[in-house]
Structure 1
Amino acid sequence: MIAIIYILLLMDLSFAAISTSAFCECSEFKTSIECAQQYNCKWSTSCKDKICSDFIEESECDRASDCAWNDTQKKCAQFTSCSNYKVNQASSCQLKDATCIAGDPNPDGSYICQNGTILCSQISDQKLCNSDLYQSQHEMCTYSSSSCQSVDISKCSTITEQFICTSLKCSWSVTNLSCLEGTCSSYSSPDMCSYVSAESIGTKILCKWMDNSCIEANDVFALTSSNCYINTGGSYAWIDGQCKECHSTKFGVLVALNAIFSVLLALML
């Protein structure tokens, strides 16, 4: 009887879906190819974090921690203070640092950034509201019902906008017009079958393609050096000839969005 129970437990474990909240830091990439796919990493005998001066694109610079693009000098450097930055779009101020907001527009349409806090409800311009502004780490601004509102994006179930829901790999219910935990079965092609979001944004459920359907994965043996990172949403890397889970777990909403950004870049390479 004990032997039967033990076998049944092993069977349950073998079919357990893989759930992960890890993400890969630069030092965990062991191949130059995977390293080069990361906007914040560089290869020099090993994979290392870029410093601010390594970024040559404004969008990548402003996403990097403690870095900001100086439009006057046309270069990326360590963030100093909000008032030192002039931008062409009001939403760009928050990209410099979470403490920055746009001041009044200049005659030429540009803005000087200033210290401040974003309140979605005080934004009247629809375009500005929908330009990836964050009221807090877990609250994103979105224009809905003729006003700018904050949306809690810490969980699938609290998201009220379809685009945000599907962008974060949750599943949108057309019947109930609500956002639900992601399901592998919602994908109908092997190219899309990679991972979905659990209820808590930042935790991912891995998927795999088998018998012409997308199901929850119980292993990553089929992944290769070319798709290990991409198909796990940035949680696994190719290490010592195997697809292995990375060690860092400081995975939050903004990290999740940056990971999606990195994966999209990797897909375009």
Structure 2
Amino acid sequence: MIFYFITLLANGNSIIVDSNLRCSCSEIKVQEDCNTIMNCKWVNSKCQDYVYECQVDITTDIKSYTCNWNSDTNKYEAQRFECSQFKSSYDCGRLKPHCFWNSTEMCNTFTSCPDYNEQHCPIYDKECSIQDNACIDGLQQCKNYTSEKTCRGVESGEQECLWSNDNQCKGQNLIDCTSLTGYKICDVNLIECKKNAQGNCVSITCSDKKQEKDCTNARIVKQGKSTFYLCVWNNGQCIEATNAQHLDIETCSRETASNYKWVDNKCQVCSVLQPKILEQQKDGYVEYENQIVIIYLSASILSKLAILLLCID
């Protein structure tokens, strides 16, 4: 296991937290915090490293299993599912890219692009695109879309179709807010962006949040990385926090992406940070000689999901 010593970034005196990292389990002294951190579990009155895993025979179809907690046995167990058991488009969508909601209003494994309507066309999961209000096979070049309404989808694994300020549909690689400069849209899911005085798209900061109820952490997302400013409401303004003393036992770990810990009745930065997923857990599963270990919602999968959602308007 490779440990990462403190990598909190400083912008002046501001605190920027890396949500891909978390405290080492041994530093956590609050049971509730321990049990919500990936790869930590409260055992024998202390927080210890724990591998959340489910084991299935390597001959089975790993895509047809999820890893869920069984409260009766107090352990994680592999549970087989069929796409057809999900009766709503919402529930079906949670199992992407294995299950898709088709034109017959049923959840099933992927068949072919024309089997899906425009609303549920899997343009981000499969090589499908939308043309003349229909879901068709194959990716289309963004330049082939001639209106802002039809300019959606991707033309490659990296290029999202976006409508530009000069009224053209162009392929753009979404890396951060600045990637959206020159386009009509200046915000996407999981990124908080704004247009500055020059019309450029930039990340928002704490000071852009004008009400106390909205004074939450300001997220800064870059491809493959997720960090955010720690914000605090002070004298009628939302500002960037210079410490975490405004957080209590309930919010300390949660609001700092588990980069801070509650100890000695105050919120303190952890001495050692490490990746939220153990090194041997790659892409949701680990291959052993005669079995596969499924990691349910591993940090690497969540990271990829976050980047995928950057492409959803």
Query: Common fold, TM-score beyond 0.5?
Result: yes
Following TM superposition, by how much is the alpha carbon of 1:177 offset from its aligned partner in structure 2, in angstroms? 0.4
DSSP-derived class of the 1:209 partner: strand
**d(CA) in 2 for partners of 1:223 and 1:50?**
38
**d(CA) in 2 for partners of 1:193 and 1:126?**
33
TM-score by length of 2: 0.52
**Contact 2:18–2:226 (8 Å) recurs in 1:** yes
Seen in structure 2, the aligned counterparts of structure 1 residues 186 and 210 have a Cα distance that, compared at 3 Å, is same
**d(CA) in 2 for partners of 1:167 and 1:60?**
20
Seen in structure 2, the aligned counterparts of structure 1 residues 151 and 99 have a Cα distance that, compared at 3 Å, is same
Partner of 1:267: none
Following TM superposition, by how much is the alpha carbon of 1:19 offset from its aligned partner in structure 2, in angstroms? 2.2
Paired letter, 1:86: Y
Partner of 2:306: 255
Seen in structure 2, the aligned counterparts of structure 1 residues 134 and 170 have a Cα distance that, compared at 3 Å, is same
**Contact 1:182–1:199 (8 Å) recurs in 2:** no
Following TM superposition, by how much is the alpha carbon of 1:254 offset from its aligned partner in structure 2, in angstroms? 5.0
Partner of 2:295: none
Partner of 2:121: 93
Partner of 1:153: 174
Seen in structure 2, the aligned counterparts of structure 1 residues 199 and 27 have a Cα distance that, compared at 3 Å, is closer
**What 5-or-longer segments of structure 1 have no aligned partner?**
1-11, 31-39, 262-269
TM-score by length of 1: 0.59
Partner of 2:292: none
**Contact 1:21–1:251 (8 Å) recurs in 2:** no
Seen in structure 2, the aligned counterparts of structure 1 residues 162 and 117 have a Cα distance that, compared at 3 Å, is closer
Partner of residue 172 from structure 1, selected from 171, 182, 194: 194
Partner of 1:67: 99
Paired letter, 1:214: C
**Count of matched residue positions in the alignment of Structure 1 and Structure 2:** 221
**d(CA) in 2 for partners of 1:173 and 1:189?**
19
**d(CA) in 2 for partners of 1:43 and 1:210?**
38
Paired letter, 1:22: N
**Contact 2:189–2:310 (8 Å) recurs in 1:** no
Paired letter, 2:306: V
Partner of 1:221: 247
**d(CA) in 1 for partners of 2:67 and 2:311?**
15
**Contact 1:184–1:216 (8 Å) recurs in 2:** yes
**d(CA) in 2 for partners of 1:70 and 1:23?**
38
DSSP-derived class of the 2:212 partner: coil
More helix as a share of residues = 1
DSSP-derived class of the 2:140 partner: coil
Query: 1:66-116 CA deviation, whole Å, 9 max, x = no partner?
Result: 2211232x3222224435x131x2x6423473312246x5xxxx73532x1
Seen in structure 2, the aligned counterparts of structure 1 residues 134 and 54 have a Cα distance that, compared at 3 Å, is farther
The RMSD of aligned alpha carbons is 4.7
Paired letter, 2:163: Y
Partner of 2:160: 140
**d(CA) in 2 for partners of 1:216 and 1:181?**
14
Structure of larger gyration radius: 2
Query: 1:107-162 CA deviation, whole Å, 9 max, x = no partner?
Result: xxx73532x12321111243121x4x223444322223232122332122221236
Partner of 2:227: 204
Paired letter, 2:125: D
Following TM superposition, by how much is the alpha carbon of 1:209 offset from its aligned partner in structure 2, in angstroms? 2.1
1:124-135 map, 5 Å: 124-129=146-151, 131=152, 133-135=153-155
**d(CA) in 2 for partners of 1:180 and 1:134?**
23
Following TM superposition, by how much is the alpha carbon of 1:195 offset from its aligned partner in structure 2, in angstroms? 2.5
